Amino acid sequence: MKNKFNTTFIKLFKRFFKQKILLMILIFVMLLVIAFQLSPPILIKIGIDKYIMKGNIIGLNFIVLILVCIYSLEFFLSFIETYITQKLSQQIMAELRSDLFKKIEKQNALFFDRHKVGELVSRLTSDISNLEQLFTTGFLDSFLKTVMIIVIVIILIVLNFKLAIVVIAVLPFVLMLFVGFSAIVMPLYRNLRVNTAKLSAFMRENITGMSVIQNFGKENAHQKQFNVVNEELSFNYRKIISYFALFFPAIEIASAVTVALVLLVGGKMILSSILTIGTLVAFIDYIDKLFSPLKELSERYNLFQSASASAERIFDLLEDQDNIVQEGRELFVNPKGHIEFKNVTFSYFQEPVLKTISFSIEPGEKVAFVGATGSGKSTVLKLLMRLYDLNEGEILIDHHKSDEYELGSLRRAFGWITQDPQIFTASVADNISLFNDNITLDEIKMAAKTTKADIFIEQFAEKYDHLLIERGENLSVGEKQLIAITRLVANRAKILLLDEATANIDVLTEKLINQNLEQLMKSMTTIVVAHRLATVKNVDRILVFDKGRIVEEGTHDELLKQKGVYHMLYKYQFKK
């Protein structure tokens, strides 16, 4: 744990140090700020001892002038410091975010099976913003504060060694207080993080499932679960705050005690003329400057805690190689659309879902997959899309192993539609073109005409500019499927994979779509998964799946004659 913690920070520092020049400027500015912050007490001391006590008004004015300059410079430099810090951290964070997103895009589907959406989103948002704080208030500011504490102690020693001993004698107690406090609060902060994560996961799942909760009248039960999670969180918060309520006054008291001691010892020294009044005043100023950073550092503990956890999660993801889909270098250009499976075996877990499957599909051929649910039809399509790697066997696309192609170029040749297609928060037109600027509005309209999606799109007041929302709650499910099919047409996919893509579309509309697509489909290889046999009847070839195997193959008429599995499915559909 400790070790991992360190390596995580080293990785972070590495990214940090990539911006050498900015970082050097920043450190220089910071040191200047420290110098400016720490010089006024000395100037004031000189003012008191040399001028005020001697009645020298010109000298006093001179010191005041210097102070004005120093304060203005300090003010100005602090702004520069903040600006550079922000710029630096924003740059690093933007880079990290983009690395992270790239990484997530490269993950195979097993990864998404395992990670909850809420969890991933929080990595890209709150984990990153945690890190950002770690950079700004965490590393940089803590560095500054620590340097300041050390410099103050040195100044005190130089100013007056004996009096400095008094202050230094108190410090171990304060440090103990600080360490003790951290030891108590750190685990509490760890719990807090766990609680927060639990709460947001709970919220996400319950909000997406709200219709089920309401329909089954389970509001109270879920409210109870929520209260438990919520109460845990709030209890932890209250506990932490109560410790802070103890710690802050304790530091105040320590500070007051130190001042009193310094006054006592210093007063005596002044009486015996070993110490000047100005030095005593400077000491008191410095004590204040010494203790307030301690308070602020104590608040940083939380930050370090949660940020290191965030950093760990982010780097875990960045370095996770397990679920990256294998890909080659070769670009997939001028696709013909030939597909071949050779003895493919695949399992999600232990149980094989596909068992030594072999088949091949010619360019331009239209093939249907039928079979019981769970027999592995969708899995074949997911493997074609290279969402998972195979266990055994190989998949050839245009007579070439599919894992030798560069992933993006391969996937672009495919048009894949699932049963619940994704709708993005964007206009209808953008949802169809998928933000591809090369597709003109006319092409979009043509595509929509082919798929009959134009009928409902034209009914929106803003037509193709009508705004759709994520998950598409303002469309019927069938309409979403129509949008998805239109998307494929507009993007000119070469190989169509339609996984129950018309299951929520009525037969009449489906028939019209098929008629319109017929011309287009001649140049495309098409695989349709469907249960409605009317959808399946007119394809060139039907493959019948059963428990991960292909058990029958042939045209509709041939399969009916065989009186096997297909015949039975057909019979069910039309039996009286």
Partner 1 sequence: MRLAKVRGFFHPIIAAFASLSVLVIFWIGGYFVIKKVITIGEFIAFNGTIGYLLMPTIFIGWIMSMLQRSRASLERIGEVIGEANVLRDINVDSGIKTLSGDIRIDNLSFSYNKEKEILSNFSLSIKSGEMVAIIGEVGVGKSTVINLMQRIYAPPKNSIFYDGNDVFRIPLEILHANINYVSQEPHIFSGSIRDNISYIDQVDTTLDAIIWAAKFADIAKDIESFPNAYDTLIGENGITLSGGQKQRIALARAIINRPKILMLDNVFSAVDTETEDNILQNLLQLKGHITTIIVAHRVSTLKHCDKIILLKEGMVLASGTHEELMHNKDYMDIYEKQI
Whether 354 and 167 have beta carbons less than 8 Å apart is answered as no
CB of residue 459 to ligand ADP, shortest distance in Å: 7
Task: Decide: is 303 part of the binding site for partner 1 (CB under 8 A).
Answer: yes
Determine the residue type at 80.
Answer: I
DSSP-assigned letter for residue 326: P
Q: Which stretch binds partner 1 (CB under 8 A): 72-80, 175-183, 227-235, 434-442?
A: 72-80
Instruction: Measure the CA–CA gap between 264 and 271, rounded to whole angstroms.
Output: 11
- Residues in 95-114 that interact with partner 1 by CB under 8 A: 112-114
CB of residue 546 to partner 1, shortest distance in Å: 10
Instruction: Measure the CA–CA gap between 352 and 11, rounded to whole angstroms.
Output: 39
Give the chain's radius of gyration (CA, Å): 35
Task: Decide: is 175 part of the binding site for partner 1 (CB under 8 A).
Answer: no
Task: Decide: is 53 part of the binding site for partner 1 (CB under 8 A).
Answer: yes
Task: Decide: is 474 part of the binding site for Mg ion (CB under 5 A).
Answer: no
CB of residue 380 to ligand ADP, shortest distance in Å: 7
Structure tokens at 563: 């009186």
- Considering CB under 6 A, how many residues would be counted as binding ligand ADP? 17
Q: Which stretch binds ligand ADP (CB under 6 A): 81-89, 234-242, 322-330, 472-480?
A: 472-480
Instruction: Measure the CA–CA gap between 304 and 137, rounded to whole angstroms.
Output: 10
> Which pairs from 98-104 meet CB under 8 Å and 24+ separation?
99/318, 100/124, 100/128, 100/314, 100/317, 100/318, 103/317, 103/318, 103/320, 104/317
Whether 92 and 11 have beta carbons less than 8 Å apart is answered as no
Site string for partner 1, 523-542 (x = CB under 8 A): --------xxxx--------
CB of residue 478 to Mg ion, shortest distance in Å: 6
CB of residue 119 to partner 1, shortest distance in Å: 9
- Residues in 373-392 that interact with ligand ADP by CB under 6 A: 373-379
Among 118, 478, 554, 564, binds ligand ADP (CB under 6 A): 478
CB of residue 548 to Mg ion, shortest distance in Å: 13
Whether 327 and 406 have beta carbons less than 8 Å apart is answered as yes
Residue in 483, 491, 489 with CA at minimum distance from that of residue 412: 491
Task: Decide: is 212 part of the binding site for partner 1 (CB under 8 A).
Answer: yes
- Residues in 404-443 that interact with partner 1 by CB under 8 A: 418-420
Q: Looking at beta carbons only, is 437 or 473 nearer to ligand ADP?
A: 473
Task: Classify residue 102 as left (phi > 0), alpha (psi -120 to 50) or beta.
Answer: alpha
Task: Decide: is 476 part of the binding site for Mg ion (CB under 5 A).
Answer: yes
Beta bridge partners of 496: 415, 526
Whether 387 and 108 have beta carbons less than 8 Å apart is answered as yes
Task: Decide: is 476 part of the binding site for ligand ADP (CB under 6 A).
Answer: yes
Contact partner at residue 53 from ligand ADP, Mg ion, partner 1, none, CB < 5 to 8 Å by partner kind: partner 1
Task: Decide: is 60 part of the binding site for partner 1 (CB under 8 A).
Answer: yes
Residue with tokens 């048009």: 415
Determine the residue type at 433.
Answer: S
- Residues in 443-462 that interact with ligand ADP by CB under 6 A: 456
Q: Which stretch binds Mg ion (CB under 5 A): 139-147, 342-350, 475-483, 507-515?
A: 475-483
- Residues in 323-352 that interact with partner 1 by CB under 8 A: 348-351
Q: Which stretch binds Mg ion (CB under 5 A): 65-73, 117-125, 291-299, 370-378?
A: 370-378
Q: Which residues contact 309 (CB under 8 A, 6 or more apart)?
A: 190, 193
Determine the residue type at 294.
Answer: L
Instruction: Measure the CA–CA gap between 324 and 317, rounded to whole angstroms.
Output: 11
Site string for partner 1, 370-389 (x = CB under 8 A): xxxxx---x-----------
Instruction: Measure the CA–CA gap between 155 and 87, rounded to whole angstroms.
Output: 33
Dihedral sign (CA 371, 374, 375, 380): positive
- Considering CB under 8 A, how many residues would be counted as binding partner 1? 98
CB of residue 333 to partner 1, shortest distance in Å: 33
Whether 12 and 128 have beta carbons less than 8 Å apart is answered as no
Task: Decide: is 473 part of the binding site for ligand ADP (CB under 6 A).
Answer: yes
Q: In what helix (H) or strand (E) does residue 248 lie, and over which residues does it extend?
A: helix 219-271
Q: Looking at beta carbons only, is 86 or 326 nearer to partner 1?
A: 86
Site string for partner 1, 234-263 (x = CB under 8 A): ------------------------------
Task: Decide: is 378 part of the binding site for Mg ion (CB under 5 A).
Answer: yes
Cα separation values, 358 from 106, 500, 553, Å = 27, 22, 12
> Which pairs from 565-570 meet CB under 8 Å and 24+ separation?
565/371, 566/370, 566/542, 569/370, 569/533, 570/533
Among 81, 479, 510, 552, binds ligand ADP (CB under 6 A): 479
Residues that bind Mg ion (CB under 5 A): 378, 476-477
Residues that bind ligand ADP (CB under 6 A): 113, 348, 353, 373-379, 456, 473-476, 478-479
